[in-house]
Amino acid sequence: MSSAETSEGAYPTGYSEQRDSSSSNEKRVIVPADPCVWSHDHVRQWLDWAVKEYALSDIDSNLFQNIDGKELCKMAKEDMMRLTNTYNTEILLSHLNYLRESESWWTAGRVG
């Protein structure tokens, strides 16, 4: 097993994102691969990461504090737009859909 693989196997068990940077202020974000099972804290971590990654502005993270992954995954575009502007909504929902599709691919690809 290579050092890039975990002892749990070759399939990802969580979503991890880290930019190549010498900055010690950058922190690694690790959340479950399926956004629908995220806790409130996972949603906050993902939102904080997305704000930095996509240079989003005008996001009040306090509006998301009571939203867990299950609620986040149920949100329609109109629901998200009540919390932030149209541009941020497009970015956040696009990334959320990407994560959900990626998780589905890994789940379907596992051999049981």
Percent of the chain at pLDDT > 70 equals 66
Please list, in sequence order, all residues whose beta carbon lies within 8 angstroms of the beta carbon of residue 60, skipping any fewer than 6 positions away: 83, 84
21 falls in which pLDDT band (50, 70, 90)? Answer: very low
**What average pLDDT does the segment 24-28 reach?**
56
Q: What is the pLDDT of residues 65-100, one digit of tens each?
A: 999 999 999 999 999 999 999 999 999 999 999 999
CA distance 23 to 32: 25
Please check whether residue 7 is in contact with residue 71, taking contact to mean a CB–CB distance below 8 angstroms.
Answer: no
Where do the domains of the chain lie, and which CATH numbers do they carry?
34-109 (1.10.150.50)
- Whole-number pLDDT of residue 12: 44
Q: What is the DSSP secondary-structure string of 49-62?
A: HHHHHTT--S--GG
- Whole-number pLDDT of residue 110: 52
Look-up of token digits 């997305």: 50
Cα–Cα separations (whole angstroms), residue 52 to 6, 7, 14, 38? 27, 31, 20, 20
